[in-house]
Amino acid sequence: MPTTPRPLRRLGFLTIGLFDEADPRRGHESTLDLITLGEQLGFDSAWLRHRHLQYGISSPVAVLAAASQRTSRIHLGTAVTPLGWENPLRLAEDLATVDLLSGGRLNPGFSAGPPTHWEHVRDALYPDTADREEFGHRRAERLLALVRGEDASDFAGTEGIEVYSRRVQPHSPGLADRLWYGAGSLRSARWAGEHGLNLLTSSVVKPEPGPGPGSADAGSAAVGSADAEPATAAADFAVIQARQIRAFRALHPDGERARVSQGLVVIPTDSATPEQRAKYRAYAQARAPRTLAPQGPAGLLFAPDLVGSSAELAERLHAHAGFREVDEVAFALPFTFEPEDYVQILTDLATRLGPALGWSRSTPGRD
């Protein structure tokens, strides 16, 4: 098995928080139960996705506020908050509030870009300002400035019994150091590095020109360039992701110490029943076609879902060029499984796969 220069130091998981429209409370409570289980199993972090106008958690910050009162150690993150749906000032207030309630455990992840299905939601989301909204990195820079404590107003003082602050209140010291940017392109990875953020990677990358086969930058998993034929798309994914991570660290003030987390779909089957194993493999096989060739106008590459025993998964991850660049993960849970499936997967991640990757509940420097 290939060795990695970065033994796994922090183990996390990511969930969408799916729910039934007829009984949404049950789904949200199930998500809170998973986070509680994650803490009991020793996970370092639990992350929630945003799902607007879908049957997944639309308000992760509110759910994480509830989770902060049911847990005491596990870090709580969003992966990621799409800023096109948010007012940066209001979001900064909410993030600081939940961070204080959690005792400094919030890890907000965010991304830039227009809202999904913008043409269908613009009139509901920004009825008066849709044509003037800016969804690029400038919006993200506004959030950064506000979380870091820069002025939000040019007025401070007392009016009667009301006292006003120039900066967002409450202010949570340390929160800015726990901000993460979700990047899938070289440009975004570089931007995150330049702005001193932490980097969230996922199972999607944007192919971009780069070194070809056999180059020093290709990594151990390389079998082709970023413009490879479809048969090499999965291997190219790993190479592209590794290149983005290296570009991020090259521009980050912390250099090689800059934090990066990887978020692949990884499903261990060690303690799964035969029925669960069949379900997991069918799930991965149904999603496999999207990994065989670039997808959509941008030619995005998707990583294959990884299913197998912890020994098999550890071998595949150690050979993955992207994984070899990180010492933190937030493995993504499949969207449509049952609560008992998630319990089995989380248990195997914490007790089987994590240790096989060098992680333990007592790893120094986890917190």
Cα 138 from Cα 45, distance rounded (Å): 29
Give the count of domains, the chain. 1
Note whether 328 and 261 are within 8 A (CB). yes
CATH number reported for the structural domain that contains residue 177 in this entry: 3.20.20.30
pTM of the predicted model as reported, rounded to 2 decimal places = 0.92
Examine residue 228 and state whether it is found in any structural domain, yes or no: yes
pLDDT attached to residue 208:
80
Sign of the CA dihedral with 334 first, then 31, 46, and 55 last: positive
pLDDT attached to residue 222:
30
pLDDT attached to residue 6:
76
Q: Domain range spanning residue 212?
A: 10-153+160-356
pLDDT attached to residue 366:
61
Examine residue 280 and state whether it is found in any structural domain, yes or no: yes
Examine residue 363 and state whether it is found in any structural domain, yes or no: no
Examine residue 351 and state whether it is found in any structural domain, yes or no: yes
Q: Phi/psi of residue 137, each to 5°? A: -70, -20
pLDDT attached to residue 230:
38
pLDDT attached to residue 291:
86
Examine residue 303 and state whether it is found in any structural domain, yes or no: yes
Please name every residue paired with 199 in a beta bridge, in sequence order, or none if there are none.
181, 260
pLDDT attached to residue 224:
28
Examine residue 117 and state whether it is found in any structural domain, yes or no: yes
Q: Phi/psi of residue 222, each to 5°? A: -75, 135
Note whether 349 and 271 are within 8 A (CB). no
CB within 8 A of 324, min separation 6: which ones?
2, 4, 5, 6, 219, 220, 242, 318
Examine residue 21 and state whether it is found in any structural domain, yes or no: yes
pLDDT attached to residue 231:
38
Examine residue 2 and state whether it is found in any structural domain, yes or no: no
Could you list the pLDDT tens digit for every one of the 367 residues in the chain? 455 567 899 999 999 999 999 999 999 999 999 999 999 999 999 999 999 999 999 999 999 999 999 999 999 999 999 999 999 999 999 999 999 999 999 999 999 999 999 999 999 999 999 999 999 999 999 999 999 999 999 999 999 999 999 999 999 999 999 999 999 999 999 999 999 999 999 999 999 865 543 333 333 333 222 233 333 566 799 999 999 999 999 999 999 999 999 999 999 999 999 999 999 999 999 999 998 888 998 899 999 999 999 999 999 999 999 999 999 999 999 999 999 999 999 999 999 999 999 999 865 556 5
pLDDT attached to residue 305:
97
pLDDT attached to residue 218:
36
